[in-house]
C-alpha cells in the first residue's frame, strides 16, 4: 500500500526546494586507463529557426496524414551475422515446449502498482511507434511517438495533440521520425527532439525544441542542425539525448547513402542549452572519430531532481557479436572549458549476446528483437544505470540491467526474465528511490509469447539488486502485423520517466500495445510500489486503510497525519477521468476517518486518488459491487 506523506507542508516544500538545487559533481576518473579519445570540431553557432505556439484546439480528433519514415532500415555492424544467429536461436527455442516456464527470478515482496493510466499517442501507420515520455515537477506530461506529440495534465486530460511537422510550423520539414522528449528538472523546462528521416544526407536534419516555460502549452523555440555534420554524404539515425547542468547532448549513428545504408560511425553533438530556453543563438560542437567504434552511444542525464556536470557520461554495448565488455565514455568538461576531451574506457562485465525473435498469439508473424544495443539509462551518486535486452537462456530475451561505477570502472549486471515462456524486450529504466544513495529502479518493457498478445509490463529492482515479480501494465487486443507476415519491428525504445518533486516518487511509462486493427497504439501509465527504496519504514503502510473493498454500500478511508494539511480525494475511472470529487479541504493532525456512500456509481473498477496540490500521495484500486 502506498504511504501517505506525513511531513509538514513547510518541511516538504523546503526539502523539495533544496533537492531542486541538487548538482552532483563528477567523480575523479583514472584517465591512465583510457583506451582512446575522439575528434572535436570547431565551435559553431546555431540560430533559432522558428517557434511553435501550440493551440489547445488541436486535440485527438484532428485528422493526421503521415508517411512511412524509411523504405529501408539502416544496418548495424555485422547485421548479417546477427540475423543468422537470431534465426537459429528462434528456430531452436520454438521447437521446444513453448508452455514450459522457469518463472521470473523474483526475490522481492515489493509489487509495482498501476495508478492513473490512459490511451496515449495513437497509431498512424508506423512501426514501431518510437514512443517517449517526460513529466514536469508541476505535473505536465509530454508524450511523443511516430509521428505525433501530445500534452496532458497529471489526470490524463489532453490539452494538445498534433502531428510533428505541423507542430514545428515549418513547411520545409517533410518526413520526421524517432521523436524523443525529456524534462530538464534543473532548468524546469522540456526539450523535444525529432529528426528528418528521408535516408539521404541532403535532407538529414536534427529538429530541437526548447519549451518557453515549464508548461508545454506556452510554446517552444525551434532549431534545426544538420544530420551530416562532417559534410561527407552521410545521414543521421538512432538518436539518444540527455542533459547536464549546462548542456544538451545528442548522439546518433551516421550511415552512407548507398542502397545498403551502411553504418559509418557514431557522433556526439554538444550543445549549450541556456540560450535555447530563451530562444537565442546557441554555441555547439560535435565529436567524431570516436574510439571503440560504438553503435548507438547512450548519454545519461541525472536520475533525480537537478543535474550533474560539467560534461557528461555515456555508455555503449557491443551489439554485433557476443561480448563481455561495456564501452564507457567520459566527456570531461563543458565546451566552454576549451580543453575538454571525450575519453574511451572498456569495462569488463558478464557475457551477453543476442537472443531469438519473439512470437505472438494468433499469427506466425514474429516480433523483431533487434540487437543488444544500450536503450535507456541515467546517472546517480557515481553510478550509471542502464538497460538493454539479451539472451538469458535458450534463445529467450530478458532484461539486462547494469550499474557501472564511474570511479572504480567496474560494472555490476543482473538479468530478469522467464526463459522458456516469455520474451522480455526493449526495456527503459528510471530511478525509484527516495534518496540519491539508493539504487532502486523501475524498468518498463515489452513482453510476448506464443500464448499471449504483446504486453506492456513493469518490474522493480531494489538497492541490493533483488527483483520483484513483474506487473502487467497493458494487454493487447490482437497481434501486430502491419505489412509483413513473417516479422514486424517491436520497438526502438520504450519510454519511462521519473516524477521528481517528491520523496515518494512515481514513474510514468509510455509503451506500445496492439489494437484491434493489428497495429500499435501507446498507453500511458503511472507506476509506483508498496514501498520506495531502502529508506522506507514499512510501518508507515499501516497508517492508511480503505475498507471494505470491494464496496457494497459504503466505504471508509482511515489515515494518520502528523500535521494539518490540504487534501483532495477523487474517484477516477480506469481511463484516469475524475468521476466524483469526494473531498477538497483540510485534513487534521492525528487520526482521520472519511466515510462515503457509493451513491450511483456503476459497478466496476475505480481508483481512489488522494492528492496534496498536484502530488499524488495515494492511489488505491477499489471495486464497486452491485
**Interval 455-488: pLDDT, tens:** 999 999 999 999 999 999 999 999 999 876 789 9
Residue 102 banded pLDDT, cuts 50, 70, 90: low
Mean pLDDT of the chain: 85
pLDDT score at 19: 35
User: Higher-confidence residue: 376 or 582?
Assistant: 376
Mean pLDDT, residues 101-115 = 78
Joined grid coordinates for residue 259:
542502397
Closest CA to 184 of 221, 213, 155: 213
Query: Alpha-carbon distance 470 to 154, whole Å?
Result: 24
Is the predicted pLDDT of residue 13 greater than 80, yes or no?
Answer: no
Q: What is the pLDDT of residues 220-247, one digit of tens each?
A: 999 999 999 999 999 999 999 999 999 9
Joined grid coordinates for residue 214:
515549464
Give percent above pLDDT 90 in the chain: 58
Is the predicted pLDDT of residue 10 greater than 70, yes or no?
Answer: no
| Separation in Å, CA 353 to CA 94, 108, 356, 371, 465 | 18, 27, 10, 8, 21
Most confident of 109-123, 200-214, 488-502: 200-214
CB 125 within 8 A of CB 116: no
Query: Alpha-carbon distance 377 to 327, whole Å?
Result: 14
Q: What is the pLDDT of residues 145-160, one digit of tens each?
A: 988 999 999 888 999 9
Q: What is the pLDDT of residues 34-59, one digit of tens each?
A: 999 999 999 999 999 999 987 644 44
CB 291 within 8 A of CB 37: yes
Most confident of 406-420, 488-502, 527-541: 406-420
The angle formed by the CA atoms of residues 580, 585 and 589, to the nearest 5 degrees, is 125
pLDDT score at 471: 94
* Per-residue burial over 105-124, b = 16 or more CB atoms within 10 Å of its CB, e = otherwise: bbebebebbbbbbbbbbbbb
Most confident of 21-35, 99-113, 309-323, 530-544: 309-323
Residue 1 banded pLDDT, cuts 50, 70, 90: very low
User: Higher-confidence residue: 548 or 298?
Assistant: 298
CB 277 within 8 A of CB 210: yes
Distance of CA 444 to the CA centre of its chain: 8
Mean pLDDT, residues 428-434 = 93
Is the predicted pLDDT of residue 168 greater than 90, yes or no?
Answer: no
pLDDT score at 92: 86
Mean pLDDT, residues 371-390 = 97
Q: What is the pLDDT of residues 267-289, one digit of tens each?
A: 999 999 999 999 999 999 999 99
Most confident of 5-9, 70-74, 137-141, 269-273: 269-273
- DSSP label at residue 602: P
In 373-494, the DSSP E strands lie at: 376-380, 383-393, 396-405, 410-416, 423-431, 441-449, 452-461, 471-474, 487-489
Q: What is the pLDDT of residues 63-78, one digit of tens each?
A: 443 433 444 467 788 8
Helix (H, G, I), strand (E, B) or coil at 80: helix
Joined grid coordinates for residue 227:
544530420
pLDDT score at 544: 62
Is the predicted pLDDT of residue 540 greater than 50, yes or no?
Answer: no
Closest CA to 47 of 263, 221, 303, 289: 221
Domain boundaries, the chain: 9-19+540-624, 39-100+131-529
Superfamily of domain 39-100+131-529: YVTN repeat-like/Quinoprotein amine dehydrogenase (2.130.10.10)
User: Higher-confidence residue: 70 or 305?
Assistant: 305
Spatial strand order of the sheet with 358-360 comes to 358-360, 363-368, 487-489
pLDDT score at 71: 42
Mean pLDDT, residues 164-168 = 88
pLDDT score at 535: 35
Q: What is the pLDDT of residues 341-359, one digit of tens each?
A: 999 999 999 999 999 999 9
The angle formed by the CA atoms of residues 272, 506 and 17, to the nearest 5 degrees, is 55
Tally: H helices and E strands in the chain: 4, 43
User: Higher-confidence residue: 13 or 46?
Assistant: 46
| Least confident window among 291-305, 410-424, 531-545 | 531-545
pLDDT score at 298: 98
Give percent above pLDDT 70 in the chain: 85
Q: What is the pLDDT of residues 361-374, one digit of tens each?
A: 999 999 999 999 99
CB 283 within 8 A of CB 348: no
Query: Alpha-carbon distance 316 to 297, whole Å?
Result: 5
Q: What is the pLDDT of residues 512-537, one digit of tens each?
A: 999 999 999 999 999 988 665 543 33
Joined grid coordinates for residue 45:
553557432
pLDDT score at 335: 96
pLDDT score at 615: 60
Q: Alpha helix locations (H) across 241-395?
A: 274-278
Query: Alpha-carbon distance 371 to 321, whole Å?
Result: 9
Q: Kindly give the pairing relationship between strand 148-152 and strand 158-163.
A: antiparallel
CATH number of this structure's domain 9-19+540-624, picked from the four choices 3.40.50.970, 2.60.40.420, 3.30.450.20, 2.60.40.3080: 2.60.40.3080
Residue 563 banded pLDDT, cuts 50, 70, 90: low
Query: Is the alpha carbon torsion for 166, 168, 173, 177 positive or negative?
Result: negative
Amino acid at each position: 500500500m502506498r504511504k501517505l506523506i506525513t511531513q509538514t507542508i513547510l518541511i516538504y516544500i523546503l526539502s523539495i526546494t533544496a533537492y531542486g538545487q541538487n548538482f552532483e559533481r563528477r567523480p575523479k576518473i583514472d584517465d591512465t586507463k583510457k583506451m582512446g579519445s575522439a575528434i572535436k570540431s570547431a565551435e559553431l553557432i546555431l540560430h533559432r529557426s522558428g517557434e511553435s505556439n501550440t493551440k489547445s484546439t488541436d486535440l485527438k480528433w484532428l485528422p493526421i496524414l503521415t508517411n512511412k519514415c524509411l523504405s529501408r532500415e539502416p544496418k548495424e555492424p555485422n547485421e548479417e551475422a546477427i540475423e543468422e544467429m537470431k534465426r537459429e536461436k528462434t528456430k531452436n527455442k520454438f521447437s521446444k515446449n513453448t508452455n514450459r516456464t522457469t518463472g521470473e527470478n523474483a526475490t522481492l515482496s515489493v509489487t509495482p502498482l498501476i495508478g492513473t493510466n490512459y490511451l496515449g499517442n495513437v497509431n498512424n501507420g508506423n512501426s514501431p511507434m518510437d514512443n517517449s515520455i517526460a513529466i514536469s515537477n508541476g505535473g505536465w506530461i509530454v508524450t511523443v511517438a511516430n509521428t505525433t506529440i501530445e500534452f496532458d495534465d497529471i489526470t490524463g486530460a489532453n490539452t494538445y495533440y498534433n502531428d510533428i511537422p505541423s507542430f514545428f510550423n515549418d513547411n520545409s520539414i517533410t518526413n520526421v521520425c524517432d521523436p524523443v522528449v525529456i524534462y530538464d528538472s534543473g532548468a524546469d523546462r522540456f526539450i523535444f527532439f525529432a529528426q528528418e528521416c528521408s535516408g539521404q544526407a541532403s535532407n538529414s536534419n536534427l529538429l530541437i525544441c526548447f519549451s518557453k516555460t515549464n508548461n508545454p502549452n506556452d510554446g517552444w523555440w525551434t532549431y534545426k542542425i544538420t544530420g551530416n555534420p562532417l559534410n561527407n554524404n552521410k545521414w543521421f539515425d538512432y538518436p539518444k539525448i540527455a542533459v547536464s547542468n549546462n548542456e544538451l547532448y545528442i548522439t546518433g549513428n551516421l550511415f552512407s547513402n548507398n542502397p545498403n545504408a551502411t553504418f559509418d560511425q557514431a557522433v556526439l553533438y554538444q550543445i549549450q542549452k541556456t540560450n535555447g530556453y530563451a530562444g537565442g543563438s546557441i554555441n555547439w560542437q560535435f565529436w567524431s572519430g570516436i574510439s571503440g567504434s560504438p553503435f548507438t552511444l547512450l548519454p545519461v542525464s541525472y536520475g533525480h531532481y537537478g543535474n550533474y556536470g560539467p560534461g557528461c557520461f555515456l555508455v555503449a554495448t557491443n551489439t554485433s557479436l557476443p561480448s563481455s565488455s561495456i564501452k564507457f565514455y567520459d566527456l570531461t568538461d563543458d565546451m566552454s572549458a576549451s580543453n575538454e576531451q571525450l575519453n574511451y574506457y572498456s569495462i569488463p562485465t558478464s557475457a551477453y549476446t543476442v537472443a531469438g525473435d519473439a512470437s505472438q498469439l494468433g499469427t506466425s508473424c514474429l516480433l523483431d528483437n533487434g540487437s543488444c544495443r544500450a536503450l535507456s539509462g541515467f546517472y546517480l551518486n557515481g553510478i550509471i544505470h542502464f538497460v538493454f535486452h539479451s539472451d538469458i537462456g535458450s534463445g529467450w530475451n530478458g532484461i539486462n540491467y547494469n550499474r557501472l561505477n564511474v570511479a572504480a570502472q567496474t560494472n555490476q549486471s543482473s538479468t530478469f526474465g522467464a526463459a522458456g515462456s516469455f520474451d522480455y524486450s526493449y526495456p527503459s529504466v528510471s530511478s525509484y528511490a527516495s534518496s540519491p544513495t539508493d539504487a532502486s529502479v523501475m524498468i518498463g518493457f515489452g513482453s510476448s509469447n506464443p500464448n499471449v498478445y504483446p504486453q506492456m509490463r513493469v518490474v522493480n529492482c531494489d538497492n541490493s539488486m533483488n527483483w520483484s515479480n513483474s506487473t502487467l501494465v497493458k494487454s493487447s487486443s490482437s497481434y501486430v502485423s502491419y505489412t509483413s507476415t513473417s516479422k514486424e519491428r517491436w520497438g526502438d525504445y520504450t519510454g519511462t520517466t521519473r516524477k521528481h518533486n517528491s520523496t515518494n516518487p512515481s514513474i510514468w511509462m509510455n509503451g506500445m500495445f496492439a489494437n484491434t486493427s493489428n497495429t500499435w497504439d501507446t498507453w500511458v501509465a503511472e507506476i509506483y510500489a508498496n514501498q520506495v527504496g531502502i529508506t522506507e519504514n514499512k510501518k508507515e503502510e499501516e497508517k492508511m486503510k480503505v475498507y471494505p473493498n470491494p464496496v457494497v454500500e459504503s466505504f471508509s478511508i482511515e489515515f494518520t497525519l502528523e500535521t494539518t494539511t490540504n487534501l483532495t480525494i477523487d474517484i477516477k475511472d480506469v481511463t484516469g477521468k475524475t468521476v466524483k470529487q469526494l473531498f477538497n479541504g483540510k485534513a487534521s493532525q492525528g487520526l482521520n476517518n472519511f466515510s462515503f456512500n457509493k451513491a450511483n456509481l456503476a459497478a466496476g473498477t475505480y481508483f481512489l486518488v488522494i492528492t496534496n496540490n498536484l502530488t499524488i500521495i495515494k492511489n488505491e484500486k477499489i471495486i464497486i459491487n452491485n
